[in-house]
Amino acid sequence: MTLTSPPACGLPHLDSWVFDLDNTLYPASTQVFAQIDRRMKRFIAQFLDVPEDEAFVVQKRYFHRYGTSMRGLMIEHGMNPHDFMDYVHDIDYAVIPPSVGLDQALGGLEGRKVVFTNASLSHAEAVLKQVGIAHHFDAIFDIEAGDYIPKPAPEIYRAMLARFGLRAEASAMFEDSLKNLIPAADMGMTTVFVRDKQHWAYDATADTSHCHHVTEDLTQWLDGLIAARGAAQPARGTG
Question: pLDDT tens, 78-102?
Answer: 999 999 999 999 999 999 999 999 9
pTM: 0.92
Question: pLDDT tens, 126-162?
Answer: 999 999 999 999 999 999 999 999 999 999 999 999 9
pLDDT at site 8: 79
Domains and CATH numbers, the chain: 16-27+98-236 (3.40.50.1000), 32-88 (1.10.150.450)
pLDDT at site 200: 61
pLDDT at site 206: 79
Question: pLDDT tens, 196-229?
Answer: 876 666 667 778 899 999 999 999 999 999 999 9
Is it the case that residue 60 has pLDDT exceeding 70? yes
Please state, for a pLDDT cut of 90, what percent of the chain lies above it: 83
pLDDT tier at 13 (50, 70, 90 boundaries)?
Answer: very high
- Overall average pLDDT of the 56-67 stretch: 93
pLDDT at site 38: 95
Is it the case that residue 191 has pLDDT exceeding 80? yes
pLDDT tier at 4 (50, 70, 90 boundaries)?
Answer: confident
Q: What is the DSSP string of the chain?
A: -------TT--TT--EEEE--TTTSS-GGG-HHHHHHHHHHHHHHHHHT--HHHHHHHHHHHHHHHSSHHHHHHHHH---HHHHHHHHT-S-GGGSPP-HHHHHHHHT--SEEEEE-SS-HHHHHHHHHHHT-GGG-SEEE-TTTTTTPPTT-HHHHHHHHHHHT--GGGEEEEES-HHHHHHHHHTT-EEEEE--TTSTT--TT---TT-SEEES-HHHHHHHHHHHHHHHHHHHT--
pLDDT tier at 6 (50, 70, 90 boundaries)?
Answer: confident
pLDDT tier at 189 (50, 70, 90 boundaries)?
Answer: very high
pLDDT tier at 9 (50, 70, 90 boundaries)?
Answer: confident
